[in-house]
Amino acid sequence: MKIAVAGTGYVGLVTGVCLAEHGHNVTCVDIDDSKVDLMKAGVSPIFEPDLEELMIKNLDGLYFTTDYKTAYKDADVIFIGVGTPEKKDGSANLSYVYGVAEQIAESIEKDCVVVVKSTVPIGTNDKIEAMIKSNLSHNVNVYVASNPEFLAQGTAVRDTLHPSRIVIGVEEPIAGEVLKEVYKDFDAPIVITNRKSAEMIKYASNDFLALKISFINEIANLCEIIGADIEDVAHGMGYDSRIGNRFLNAGIGYGGSCFPKDTKALHWLANFHDNELKTIKAAIDVNENQKLKLVKKSRKYFDNFKGLNVAVLGLTFKPGTDDLREAPSLLNIPIMLEDGANIKAWDPVGVDNFKKIYPHEITYCNTIEDTLKAADVCFIFTEWDEVKNFDITKYNKLMRTPIVLDGRNCYDLASVKKANITYDSIGRETLYILEASPV
């Protein structure tokens, strides 16, 4: 099938590459010439495991262009996978989606199905259909379908090739039949519903997972007060099939491009209709407070950061990606810098993006060891495997004061007890050494 994909970010590029892997003829459209040239050469503009290898494998059936008119004019299916960033009021910015809809309307010369892959507020597909149909340059039939993505950064290729479900929202049966043909070789259950329900499935799914994370973080905070262990609590909860064991890892909150944006967008939409979603609001509030958990913990050991050597391990919002959006590091590091800290930071893939924000204020290190040398305190913001597998005894050997504030519970407490460090994590017992006891 001849397919065009608008946008080559996480959603658009991964979708296009995975559809090409399943034998479709795919053209990906972007407005950036330099980005298109990179992709033509088999170079991915985003860091995502397995994506570049799959691009190179499928270059014979995978094309990249800035010429949207040629890409759209005779496509059987056009996927819209552009960004819907958050506005200052929490609502979704749909200007990119609507811009693509206008381009489609002026370009298509045959009947086609337009598929909205971007995460959009409920009712947006109806508006896109009206916009396209009222601006058509040729006498063709166009059908608009909602087909939300359920990929996670770091596992996006796997999530797309082996989805838990494929959700298709349509108003006309023909659009559903076309999309079933698109996905016929995908081994996943297909859920066909109307467009608004499909749009809501996406938001409800992401917001439920965000709520689950905020819930376990609140329980973790209480565990610290009463002396319970959050890992034991989560382990016991996870055996209940109604709850499950995923998204029960306590930490310093969620980040990235989906959960923060989607919780705020649904909360905004509900408020717009005078129907506040109290649980979603609570998840948002808890998450914002949780991101500062380590800085608050640090006040037990230091009045402020002035003159302190601070080691930061992990800059991205999660391992497996170079994405900094809503990462705890972006909230915490400015506080430390303003307080007068000397910061050394390490991240295996996120440094280049962080340098765009702080090119000179931070010393960036190539190894964890270099980051820890002579440090007074270490903050762990991202649970990279390199951090989790790091020799814990080196903290004491390398740091001036071995105080480790772990926002991702990277280490087993039994192992830490042998390392002679102060170790303060989330929802668990704090382990002290004599010279670093709280003031």
Binding residues: 30, 35, 84, 119, 202, 247-251, 255, 261, 318, 325
Question: Where are any strands of DSSP class E within 371-414?
Answer: 377-380, 403-406
CATH architecture designation of domain 293-436: 3-Layer(aba) Sandwich (3.40)
How many other C-beta atoms can be found within 10 angstroms of the C-beta atom of residue 127? Answer: 16
Residue 435 CB-density burial (10 A; 0-12 exposed, 13-18 middle, 19+ buried)? exposed
Q: What's 202-290's CATH class?
A: mainly alpha
How many other C-beta atoms can be found within 10 angstroms of the C-beta atom of residue 367? Answer: 10
Report pLDDT digits (tens) over 301-346: 999 999 999 999 999 999 999 999 999 999 999 999 999 999 999 9
The reply to whether 293-436 shares the fold of 2-193 is: yes
Cα–Cα nearest to 175, from 201, 145, 139? 145
Q: Tokens in use for 219? A: 């329980």
Residue 170 CA: distances (Å) to CA of 109, 116, 176, 194, 406: 22, 11, 6, 5, 46
Look up residue 13 and give its amino acid: L
How far apart, in whole angstroms, are the C-alpha atoms of residue 122 and residue 116? 12
Report pLDDT digits (tens) over 128-165: 999 999 999 999 999 999 999 999 989 999 999 999 99
Q: CB-based contacts of 115: which residues, under 8 Å, 6+ apart?
A: 77, 78, 79, 80, 144, 145, 146, 147, 179
- Taking each helix axis from N to C terminus, what angle separates 230-238 and 195-226, rounded to the nearest 10 degrees? 140
How sure is the predictor about 300, in pLDDT bands with cuts at 50, 70 and 90? very high
C-alpha triplet 144, 14, 39: angle, nearest 5° = 115
| Segment 103-109 mean pLDDT | 98
Residue 196 has pLDDT above 50, yes or no: yes
List the end-to-end C-alpha distance of the chain, in Å, as a whole number.
67
Residue 435 has pLDDT above 80, yes or no: no
For residue 86, the model assigns a pLDDT of: 87
Buried b (16+ CB within 10 A) or exposed e, 55-72: beebeebbbbbeebeebb
Residue extents of the structural domains in the chain: 2-193, 202-290, 293-436
Choosing among 3.40.250.10, 3.60.20.10, 3.40.50.720, 3.40.630.10, the CATH entry for 2-193 is 3.40.50.720
By annotation, the residues acting in catalysis are: 258
